[in-house]
Chain A
Amino acid sequence: MPADAWLLLIVSVGLGLGVELVYMRARRREGHMGRRGDTGRRGRSGDERTREDRHP
């Protein structure tokens, strides 16, 4: 397969995969730093705040 076709294939796969990997790394770093993100939330989360809170 020509080099330009290989390049297109690598970029096609790599762009999206790269975005996801960077994101996962950021989430893991957040988890190691103990920041409230995925497992704990700073504000009132969906579990705590409901529509009734806004429309009593």
Chain B
Amino acid sequence: MPSLGADMEEGTVVEWFVQPGDTVARGDIVATIDTDKAEIDVEIWQGGVIEALLVEVGRKVPVGTPLATLSSEGATPATPSPVAPTSEAAPAPPPAPAVPIAAPAPPPPPPVAPVAPPAPAPAAAVAGGRPRVSPLARRVATQLGVDVSTVAGSGLGGAVTKADVERAAGQPSEAAPASEGPTAPPASEAVGTPSEGADRERAASIQRAVGVAMARSHREIPHYYLDTWIDMSAAMRWLENENRQRPVRERLLYSALLLRAVALAVHEVPEVNGFWRDDRFEASGPVHLGVGVSLPDGGLIAPAIQDADQLELGELMAALRDVVQRARGGGLRGSELTSGTITVTNLGERGVDTVFGLIYPPQVALVGFGKLVERPWAEDGMVGARLQVHASLSGDHRASNGHRGALFLAAIDRLLQQPEQL
């Protein structure tokens, strides 16, 4: 069961698209998973032949549970046992039995040991360096989408082991240690009591999942906030003209202009695009724009538009429509939920002026837009009414700073003043 978001604890197999014996290639969709938030199509990350399906349709299992076994030609893959989610690979059948040699009477234990046995290694201090994570744990964490820097290690010298990662993937709220400080992790607020009705239960479950991710964001990410008003009159004028020339189905919403401006502005300030992992910033080359989408049942999800900076406006608009539609109606791919490199949330349609958002970890920035509103605007000693939108940036101070963030917002503003070039 893949982790389709930092807040996912378990998932239900809704449908299998493969059967034992099928040959699959990397990227093929093999199953649909219900994550409590949405139904997601799950891709496979390795090619091979499906050996067995271990989890039947309708069963809910924790993140990390093997769903199926895959054999790849030429390799001797360990076969995960279907018994328990954390069980190790089944041992190979024992080889030809050997005759165990009976030990002769052991020598008497030494009364004294003048030659000191090797002293145990003092656990090398993790003094602010790279966290201790076993290679296997690091690999499994990548597969499960777990941020190892948040996992408490139980291994040698406090190292994070595979079991720690699997525990963290299964119970993110408990596994996240208060490593950043002595403060206790904030309890995710219970939203209503899921006493009556499955819908209500589901909504509560979504809210809890969001709560876990956001609690982590608030606890670990040193946010800074910037905001500015952007004059949208030039952009809206251009959009009106542009839409007159477009078939109705291909007309643009002004959100597409905002997304386009954000995607291009990222090129000027790359520190806002990427991930904070293992105590360092990993810049992302591609710009996968996460877009906050509210779901009919009250949930919130942020699927990513892949390579948003490579799409011209019409394509971006189509991609936005597609991803919103699939977020609400089902059919999102798992990778779309985890691949975002920066998120944009637009709460303007809900009527607010300003968004002060929490960053979606492990991303490092979130751009918020408020409502498009006509307000007084002073320029060259004159006051006039202009269409404006309030843009805000929530930045991770470990990856960028207020100065760079300001340049980023200014770039978005500047791009929106020349809509014909977007």
Are A and B interaction partners? no
Interface residues of A (CB under 8 A from B): none
